[in-house]
Amino acid sequence: AVFHFEPIDAAKIVAEAEKIRQYEAASISSETWFPADLIAQSELRGDDNLNGRSYAANQLCHDAYIHVRVIHVENTEYFILDLHAK
């Protein structure tokens, strides 16, 4: 899932996520269903990837997932929720 927030709300989400775990650098492949802004950003890089900061997202999901993270895409107010089932 991709979410777009107002800057003040994005800052709140990051602050709450950092209480759980410090961010890690992250890269994720752009998908055709992503918003046009994100697709354009990945195309500018030339490798179809989006870079950002990955935070724990366990508070957003239940235990049915083995891998849960939310990526704040650099230079945007977009967040990508990345889930992998057990």
pTM attached to this predicted model = 0.83
Over residues 43-55, mean pLDDT: 90
Over residues 21-46, mean pLDDT: 91
Walk across the sheet containing 49-56 and list its strands: 2-4, 78-85, 65-73, 49-56, 24-29
Task: For residue 59, name the pLDDT band (cuts at 50, 70, 90).
Answer: low
pLDDT in tens, 62-78: 565 556 788 999 999 99
Cβ 49 vs Cβ 34: under 8 Å: no
pLDDT in the model for residue 39: 92
pLDDT in the model for residue 37: 92
